[in-house]
Structure formats: C-alpha cells, structure tokens
C-alpha cells in the first residue's frame, strides 16, 4: 500500500523566453521499504521530481498524495510537519550549516519536531554513531572531508527515522570509493530500518539489482 504517490505530475517553467515542460504526466508510488532509483541525463527533471515529491515544490498539474491526502490540500503548518517528520532530504552539496558542529546540524530536525535539547542531542549522537562519526560530533563542516559531510547529511536526514529519504545525486560530489561507502550507508538504512529510499542520479551504475529502477527522459518516467 503506497504511502506516497505521485499522480500525473506535470511541471512547466514559464519564467523563460519559451515555456519549458520538464515533467509530463509522471506517476510513481512509494511503499514502506521501497528502494527506488531514478536515472536520467542532467537537466532531465530529476531534481524537480524529487522536490515535488518532498513538498519543496508544487506541480503545474497532477498531485502528490501522502497517506491519502494531497500535499497541496495541506496548510503550511501541516506541510512543514510532513517535510520535517516524514521525509529526509540528502543533497549533492550537503547543505550543512557551516557555523554549527556535526552534532548541532543533526539535532536540528529533532529540535524543530519539538524534542528538548537533551533528547535531540542523544538522537543526533546515535545517528552520527551509526554513520561511523562518533569521533566527529564536535567538528564543523569545514573540518570534515566531503564523504564525512555527506554522512552527517545522511544522519540529519535519518535522525527522526522518516518514512522516506529522498536523495538527490548523493554521491555526485564524491570520488568513486567514497561514493560507494556513502551509498552503502543509505542502502543500509533502507534495509535495516525499512526507510524507503528514492534516489535520483545520472549515474546508472550506482543502482544495484535490488532496486526498482526508472528512467526519466523527455519528461516521462519509465520502469527499466
């Protein structure tokens, strides 16, 4: 039974000289424990699709439903709660706050969700330890390698154990060895905790045999 479902998603950008039709009737269902990979060329609309699934952007037409409710029918507060508690985001360029330590970065979703600082700190420590970063909790992002920063970002995405992690080119800024290690952490969260994983990438080789693989091309999503 899908808990996150995209129906006939279309997205057209009209703030250019000519309208740009990025998505054309995309359908996708996400169930607990799913491991979904979406590949496509740069500029094919992969990030746009992921942002719409996570409530960061809205489609021109079509809908995204979470637990049977359309995201665009939710008020601002409930949509923010959805993004905070039900979805974890991992981006290519980490998006860590540079003035905060690794621990403080990972604590943020828990604090926003209403946990007190002591509880949020314990949750963040556990999430960082699971990423092999127990000895990096007090380091700021500038003191960490790219792979370590991405593992902090994964810990932040996973700290509340959301239903789904949406990963946008999670290894795109890393060398192949570091990228493989980071990918292993994401798939382990999927396998061990049942957190659904939806990854978009231009790297078809990243996707293993256990994934449901789709291609996004010319605005349309097809199962491979």
pLDDT one-digit tens code per residue, 49-100: 999 999 999 999 999 999 999 998 998 999 999 999 999 999 999 999 999 9
Burial of 39 (0-12, 13-18, 19+ CB in 10 A): buried
Residue 143's pLDDT is what?
97
Cβ atoms of 29 and 5 within 8 Å: the answer is yes
The HSE-up count of residue 206 (CA atoms within 13 Å, CB side) is: 33
Supply the pTM of this predicted model: 0.94
> Residues 105-127: what's their mean pLDDT?
98
Residue 138's pLDDT is what?
98
> Residues 138-157: what's their mean pLDDT?
97
Residue range 149-205, pLDDT digits in tens: 999 999 999 999 999 999 999 999 999 999 999 999 999 999 999 999 999 998 888
In a 3-state reduction of DSSP, which class is residue 107? helix
Question: Which numeric CATH code is attached to 4-223?
Answer: 3.40.50.300
């Amino acid at each position: 039974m899908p808990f996150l479902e995209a129906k006939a998603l279309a997205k057209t950008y009209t703030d250019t000289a000519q309208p740009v039709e990025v998505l054309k009737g995309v359908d996708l269902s996400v169930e607990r424990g799913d491991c979904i990979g979406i590949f496509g060329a740069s500029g094919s609309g992969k990030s746009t699709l992921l942002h719409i699934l996570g409530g960061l952007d809205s489609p021109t037409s079509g809908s995204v439903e979470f637990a049977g409710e359309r995201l665009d029918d939710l008020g601002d507060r409930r949509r923010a709660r959805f993004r905070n508690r039900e979805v974890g985001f991992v981006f290519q360029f980490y998006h860590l706050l540079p003035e905060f330590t690794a621990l403080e970065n990972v604590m943020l979703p828990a604090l926003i969700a209403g946990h007190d600082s002591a509880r949020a700190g314990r949750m963040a420590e556990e999430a960082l330890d699971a990423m092999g970063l127990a000895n990096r909790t007090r380091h700021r992002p500038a003191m960490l390698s790219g792979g370590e920063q991405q593992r902090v970002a994964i810990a932040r995405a996973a700290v509340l154990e959301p239903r789904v992690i949406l990963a946008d080119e999670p290894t795109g800024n890393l060398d192949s060895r570091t990228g493989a290690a980071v990918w292993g952490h994401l798939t382990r969260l999927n396998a061990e905790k049942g957190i659904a994983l939806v990854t978009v990438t231009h790297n078809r080789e990243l996707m293993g045999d256990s994934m449901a693989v789709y291609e996004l091309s010319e605005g349309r999503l097809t199962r491979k």
